[in-house]
Amino acid sequence: MNEPLPAERTLIVVHDTMWRRPLELPERLPDGCEITTDRGRLEDADAVVFHVPGLRFYHRPRKRPNQLWIAWSIESDANYPRLRDPAFMARFDLTMTYRRDADVVWGYVPYYSSADNLERALLAPPRPKDSEHPVAMLISSRVDRSGRRAYARELARHIAVDSYGRFLRNKELPDDTGRASKLELIGHYPFTIAFENSIGDDYVTEKFYDPLIAGSVPIYLGARNVGELAPAERCFLDVRDFANPRALAGHLRALLGDSAAYDGLLAWKRRPLRPEFRALLDRQRTHPWVRLCELVRQRVRARG
């Protein structure tokens, strides 16, 4: 009886974790694949992963012949311009980022544990709306390359906005237990501010998906191609469709006065998700680290 062949060995060293946080790996990697943060094994690594936004190349390791270097980031390339600098990115053999043209797409699916979890959450029925004011906002970070603070400040002059973040705070979130509290809160609001901190193609974050999950209509400022990453048609409002914040506020008031029109923005939750969005989910049903293992193994084989 023939013995089974031993699993092919693949070693990936993560040179820099995301903002120096502990590395979070899936429960199971492909047989024979090991991912470690032990820099002492760099010489033996088939591939080395660098978290580009936090990367300091003062002590750049020597690249072993046939070793693969991977650029990793889920941060906007508008905030970290070297991610779109051809000369800088030429150091790397593969990319693992939020961009849909990355070698390994790392979108915001892992934020929701899995593609299946995200799909189920998106299709959960919306909650009844019982907030006193129509719009919820949670902006705290000072990072603002999208103009979101100025836009939000002007919008709040024309319609009541309940702000729970550090920016323009006028409300306190009781019993704050983290993200679950946020979803519970915004689910009771007809609309939620969903403003990205910067604008770049494919950079669509949980700021957009959380209101959709909670059953609140996102008011979106961010990626110009957000419609390509949306789970359905007519599920959000894009500020680019309005001349200014005052015009947007007028449209919000009109929707609040027309229940049929407003309900139409939530009708997508009773239908299957858009096929293009399901295709995006399908590409990410396997964890990014698993996909990276498989891709590195393919490249190592191809190089002999």
C-alpha 265/C-alpha 15 separation (Å) is 45
Residue 58 pLDDT: 61
pLDDT tens-digit readout, 75-131: 999 999 999 999 999 999 999 999 999 999 998 888 888 899 999 999 999 999 988
Plot region of 109 (φ>0 → left; ψ -120 to 50 → alpha; else → beta): alpha
C-alpha 95/C-alpha 103 separation (Å) is 5
Tens of each residue's pLDDT in the chain, 304 residues: 555 545 689 999 999 999 999 999 999 999 999 999 999 999 999 999 999 998 876 667 889 999 999 999 999 999 999 999 999 999 999 999 999 999 999 988 888 888 999 999 999 999 999 888 999 999 999 999 999 999 999 999 999 999 999 999 999 988 778 888 999 999 999 999 999 999 999 999 999 999 999 999 999 999 999 999 999 999 999 999 999 999 999 999 999 999 999 999 999 999 999 999 999 999 999 999 999 999 999 999 998 7
Q: Let me know the angle formed at the C-alpha of 282 by 280 and 286, rounded to the nearest 5 degrees.
A: 115
Q: For residue 187, what are its two tokens?
A: 């689910």
C-alpha 41/C-alpha 9 separation (Å) is 14
Q: How many of the other CB atoms lie within 10 Å of CB of 118?
A: 23
Question: With contact defined as beta carbons under 8 Å apart, do 213 and 125 qualify?
Answer: no
Alpha-carbon 278 to chain mean position: 16
